[in-house]
Amino acid sequence: MGSQYKIAEYLEAVQLSAYVPDWTQLILSIVLSAIEFTLGVMLLLAIRRRFASKVSLIFMTCMTAVTLWLTISEPIQDCGCFGDAIHLTNTQTFIKNLILLIAALILVRWPRYQSRFISKTNQWIAFYFTIVFICLASVLSLYHLPIFDFRPYHIGQNIKKGMEIPKGAKQTTYKTTFICEKNGVTKEFTEKDYPYNDSTWVFKDTHQEVLEQGYEPPIHDFSITDEKTGDNLTDSILNKDGYTFLLISPILERADDSNFGEIDAIYEYAKENGYGFYGLTASTDKAIKHWRDVTGAEYPFYTTDGTTLKTIIRSNPGLVLLYKGTIINKWSHNDLPKQAELNAPLSLIETGREPENKTWTKIVLIIICYIFPLAFLIAADRIWSWTRWVQKREQWLKQKEEWLKQKEQSNRLYQLLKRKRQMRKKIVAGNWKMNETLQEGVALAKEINESLKAEKPNCDVVICTPFIHLASVAQVLDSNVVGLGAENCADKEKGAYTGEVSAAMVKSTGAQYVILGHSERRQYYGETAEILKEKLSWH
């Protein structure tokens, strides 16, 4: 709701508040918080690095432009970046955003330099878990009260002490502006010209601006006024001895009246036990009368600045319990004390005592609900990634070992083949085809044999003769000098194949070789690869 109030101030500054309803401002507030939180986690854990870096740059560009406008024009005094936790001037906010913009530019330029904490396959878990967590936290804070209260009206604060100004300190001068509407016309009034006696003007909102800055105490704008008499009741209520209930509703027209029965019951309880019960609002008598008509309220209403009331409690309405001017408890309208709890004077029951400071309990709860599951996810993901890395490394080592073995085997085979190539002699074979008679062929064979004996070549020599020469030529050749072979053989082992000579018949003459698949056999006799295959099978 604090972000919603700040968004409303921005819209008023650009005169767009009439066009953006309250529920839209509230949704925008939740969405803005969710985007900021989720982007921060994505950057910290390097989730979708390029996308997160680009969105951050766009986001920071817009925010830097807005804060530059605030620095130059100063339409509002506080940008509200950190709520009431940290207050920055518009200039300080602009410098802060400028630094973050430079950081976003660096991320966009070098996104891969961000070290991943969660592997890419599991990043979606952290992403959606973060969105669910921040949206749930926003809804719970909206329905109840914010988890942490950084405002000056926190539990345990004495309002009068928070308003004290050291002696001699310069006081800040404020200007309060009231925004009212009549017949569709919106007009601003100051405290001096406010139309108290003209009920036709409908109060819409109020805001303050600093005219002259001085020492500003934590609480500087708390004032309770009885508009009917003009009396200032601040001191009389804060100095009241005992307990006082304050029903806080900045704008009664927008207050939730669903729990008015519980409010009336608390008022009756306060009246029975002599406790004060006052309604504080910035709305007009018309709004107060409407509230009374709807809820049957009998408690008195007094006027307090709307911004102050919004600061006191993030609920409309909300209930504050004072004891001698000290805030000892707060309740959203959804968490009001039940009638069964108010069964004795406040001094005797838990409701009348200031609750323990549970800041560390809340921090531990956040750690358990968000940080611990996220840390567990990161640890599990790292272990899983490490296991996969080990498995991949083992697999790689096995593959490398197999590759080295294959390479070693290949090298051995290569060396073996190399040695064989180096050891193996070349063969020169020749045939004289269908030439030479038997006598001429034997004479030629003798001549070749004698020549090679005289000068032995660095290769093996084979002569292939016609079938009728084989037996005769085999007798005149030295097999250590010249090898003998046939010019062809049949594709059958044996049988009724007139005129054919089998491989076995060739071998029986003393021949060691045969020429198969000769080009002339293919060309003139139509021998095919299939016929050659048959010849080889019987060779």
Tokens of 138: 């926003």
Instruction: Give the pLDDT score at 149.
Output: 87
372-423 helix and 123-143 helix, angle to the nearest 10 degrees: 170
Same domain, 36 and 125: yes
- Sheet architecture: strand order including 185-189: 185-189, 173-182, 202-212
Tell whether 454 is covered by a domain.
Answer: yes
Same domain, 265 and 311: yes
CB 158 within 8 A of CB 325: yes
Residue 483 maps to which CATH number? 3.20.20.70
Q: CB neighbours (10 Å) of residue 443?
A: 13
Tell whether 345 is covered by a domain.
Answer: no
Same domain, 183 and 289: yes
Instruction: Give the pLDDT score at 319.
Output: 95
Tokens of 170: 């310069």
Determine the number of helices (DSSP H) and then strands (DSSP E) in the chain: 17, 14
Instruction: Give the pLDDT score at 471.
Output: 92
Same domain, 224 and 321: yes
Give the integer Cα–Cα distance in Å for 149 and 281.
21
pLDDT in tens, 454-464: 887 888 899 99
Query: 15: domain range?
Result: 2-143
Pick out the chain residues at pLDDT < 50. none
Establish whether the linkage from the previous residue to 317 is cis, with ω within 30° of 0: yes
Give the integer Cα–Cα distance in Å for 42 and 45.
5
Tell whether 350 is covered by a domain.
Answer: no
Tell whether 24 is covered by a domain.
Answer: yes
Give the integer Cα–Cα distance in Å for 456 and 478.
12
Backbone angles phi, psi at 388, to 5 degrees: -60, -40
Structural domain ending residue among the three candidates 407, 422, 437: 422
Contacts of 133 (CB under 8 A, 6+ apart): 369, 370
Residue 499 backbone zone (phi > 0: left; psi -120 to 50: alpha; other: beta):
left
CB 278 within 8 A of CB 244: yes
Give the integer Cα–Cα distance in Å for 157 and 151.
10
Tell whether 96 is covered by a domain.
Answer: yes
CB 206 within 8 A of CB 194: no
DSSP result, 91-136: HHHHHHHHHHHHHHHHHHHSGGGSPPSS-GGGHHHHHHHHHHHHHH
Instruction: Give the pLDDT score at 423.
Output: 60
Same domain, 431 and 415: no
Give the integer Cα–Cα distance in Å for 502 and 216.
124
Q: Report the number of distinct structural domains present in the chain.
A: 4
Same domain, 400 and 462: no
pTM: 0.63
Tell whether 349 is covered by a domain.
Answer: no
Instruction: Give the pLDDT score at 299.
Output: 93
Residue 226 bridge partners (DSSP): 231
Same domain, 332 and 219: yes
Residue 227 maps to which CATH number? 3.40.30.10
Counting beta carbons within 10 angstroms of the beta carbon of residue 224, is it exposed (0 to 12), middle (13 to 18) or buried (19 or more)?
Answer: buried
Structural domain ending residue among the three candidates 340, 372, 399: 340
Residue 514 bridge partners (DSSP): 486
Structural domain ending residue among the three candidates 314, 340, 366: 340
Tell whether 511 is covered by a domain.
Answer: yes
Tell whether 402 is covered by a domain.
Answer: yes
Same domain, 234 and 332: yes
Same domain, 301 and 171: yes
DSSP result, 253-320: GG---TTHHHHHHHHHHHHHHT-EEEEEESS-HHHHHHHHHHH---S-EEE--HHHHHHH-SSSSEEE
Instruction: Give the pLDDT score at 538.
Output: 62
- Sheet architecture: strand order including 276-281: 231-232, 225-226, 301-303, 276-281, 243-249, 318-323, 326-332
Instruction: Give the pLDDT score at 270.
Output: 93
Residue with structure tokens 């194949």? 497
According to DSSP, the β-strands at 231-232 and 173-182 are unpaired
Same domain, 77 and 216: no
Same domain, 409 and 481: no
Same domain, 37 and 179: no
